Amino acid sequence: MKNSKFAYSMMAVVLGTALMSGSALAATTTDSAGAKIDSSMKKVDNYMGDSAITAKVKSALVDDKAIKSSDISVTTTSGVVTLSGFVGSQAEAEQAVAAATKVEGVKSVSDKLHTKDSKDQSVKGYAGDSATTASVKAKLLADDIVPSRNVKVETTDGVVQLSGAVKDQAQSDRAESVAKTVDGVKSVKNDLKVAP
């Protein structure tokens, strides 16, 4: 009789210990999984917030009557807005930055806008710029290092602007050097972002 009471007591202790260990393990696993979910949600939240800010900035630029250019690209990373592209004047660039700064959620604005020459572009000049852009795109497409589908190319009066995202600085440098080899390119403005 004493042996069976002792055996039952031991069994109760073992089962109790196992249950307590299991709940402690479950709590640890749940905490770890919870932390991973929280981290993922923050990343999604940040991405969604940046997307919303980008949309609001684009809307603000379209609504602003003082901004006539449709060649303005907007990207947002952690609340920092980058404006790139071409505008008609320095005043228009400043207005674009001011409009973007007023948008809710914008922490700061990086101005990478370039001013087109104030003189009217001739048809010949436009055709030359279009041919230059096409040549740069073709060379980037043929290059094995640069992900050409991620690189936007614009040319104004022989000045080539590269924008978009690449994986590393080597790709950014390579895209710039490829663009510089094209006939008709006076200079290259490299606004490529390195996105890990």
Q: How far is Cα 191 from Cα 70, in angstroms, rounded to an integer?
A: 18
pLDDT averaged over 10-residue windows placed end to end, the chain, 196 residues: 64 63 54 57 60 89 84 86 84 89 89 68 64 91 89 88 91 92 89 86
Task: State the pLDDT at residue 66.
Answer: 85
Q: Which domains does the chain have, with CATH numbers?
A: 40-106 (no CATH), 119-194 (3.30.1340.30)
CA-only gyration radius of the chain, Å: 29
Parallel, antiparallel, or unpaired for β 159-166 and 151-156? antiparallel
Q: What is the pLDDT of residues 136-187, one digit of tens each?
A: 999 999 988 888 888 999 988 888 999 999 999 999 999 999 999 988 888 8
Q: How far is Cα 150 from Cα 154, in angstroms, rounded to an integer?
A: 13
Task: State the pLDDT at residue 122.
Answer: 52
